[in-house]
């Protein structure tokens, strides 16, 4: 397994249109997350990264929603994804849409999102599945220099391992779009039927994953000292070397 840390900065897309079939990917992600937004409550929702800013949160009860990005376009906060300019436990929901693939230290990006989340807060992560038809393109030299295959794809299992180590509970893990995503996807009946068959037979090999997790922080229960019962005083007979004396 390759280390998550990289010393080469990948080219990060700032719009879904910068990737092949980007709008189709965004549509499927919004469709997958649509039932979840009405289950999230709180005061603050943070979208981390420019792509996260385009995720539709229609129906979400959280009114104050912010986008943090390195570019000014459609962002309320300018900052780095791996050094969030927010205090600890200040956000109720975080969204990380296709940000890990284009980060130098994706594990630290997830840790930063965990840091700003309140206990029992929610984290939404989307990305490209390394074990998929789209992931195979990373091994083709002709595509390795193009977005998004110039980034590093991770398996959903690895991302969930990071989350488990940070104390998250995985609520949902869904795979979308069984397609190489290199060419424009058609919307005809044959394509729809193919997607249905692959989703039924090989659900784990979808090219896009959508993970919803909940941050758990269990309170520490102090261990009470055991109460030791003090034994009561009672005289006992002891042996002696003196011979017994006869009574007169």
**pLDDT (average), residues 117-130:** 96
pLDDT of residue 141: 82
Angle at 1 between CA 19 and CA 83, to 5 degrees: 60
3-state class of 194 per DSSP?
Answer: helix
Q: How far is the CA of 29 from the CAs of 57, 67, 102, 122, 176, in angstroms?
A: 11, 17, 18, 17, 8
> In the structure encoding, which two tokens stand for residue 108, read together?
């630290």
Per-residue pLDDT at 126 exceeds 90: yes
Residues 79-95: tens digit of each pLDDT: 999 899 999 999 999 99
| CB 88 within 8 Å of CB 115 | yes
State the Cα–Cα distance between residues 169 and 140, nearest whole angstrom. 36
Strands (E), the chain: 44-48, 64-69, 77-78, 91-97, 117-128, 168-176, 208-215
Confidence class for position 74, pLDDT limits 50, 70, 90: confident
**pLDDT (average), residues 9-20:** 86
3-state class of 100 per DSSP?
Answer: helix
Q: Which domains does the chain have, with CATH numbers?
A: 19-215 (3.40.50.150)
3-state class of 30 per DSSP?
Answer: helix
pLDDT of residue 198: 75
Residues 19-62: tens digit of each pLDDT: 999 999 999 999 999 999 999 999 999 999 999 999 999 999 99
State the Cα–Cα distance between residues 100 and 162, nearest whole angstrom. 12
Q: Check: pTM over 0.75? Answer yes or no.
A: yes
pLDDT of residue 193: 78
């Amino acid at each position: 397994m390759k280390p998550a840390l990289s010393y080469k900065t990948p080219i990060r897309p700032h719009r879904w249109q910068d990737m092949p079939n980007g709008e189709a990917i965004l549509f499927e992600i919004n469709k997958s997350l649509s039932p979840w937004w009405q289950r999230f409550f709180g005061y603050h929702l943070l979208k981390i990264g420019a792509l996260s800013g385009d995720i539709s949160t229609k129906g979400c009860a959280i009114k104050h929603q912010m986008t943090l990005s390195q570019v000014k376009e459609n962002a309320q906060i300018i900052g780095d994804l791996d050094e969030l300019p927010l205090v600890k436990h200040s956000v109720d929901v975080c969204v990380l849409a296709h940000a890990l693939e284009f980060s130098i230290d994706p594990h630290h990006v997830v840790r930063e999102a965990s840091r700003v989340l309140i206990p029992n807060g929610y984290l939404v992560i989307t990305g490209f599945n390394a074990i998929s038809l789209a992931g195979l393109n990373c091994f083709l030299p002709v595509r390795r220099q193009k977005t998004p295959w110039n980034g590093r794809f991770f398996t959903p299992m690895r991302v969930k391992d990071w989350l488990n180590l940070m104390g998250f509970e995985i609520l949902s893990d869904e795979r979308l779009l069984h397609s190489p995503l290199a060419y424009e996807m058609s919307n005809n009946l044959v394509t729809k039927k193919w997607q249905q068959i692959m989703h039924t037979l090989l659900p784990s090999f979808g090219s896009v994953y959508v993970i919803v997790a909940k941050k758990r922080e269990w309170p520490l229960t102090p261990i009470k000292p055991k109460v030791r019962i003090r034994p009561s005083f009672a005289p006992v007979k002891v042996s002696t070397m003196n011979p017994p004396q006869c009574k007169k």
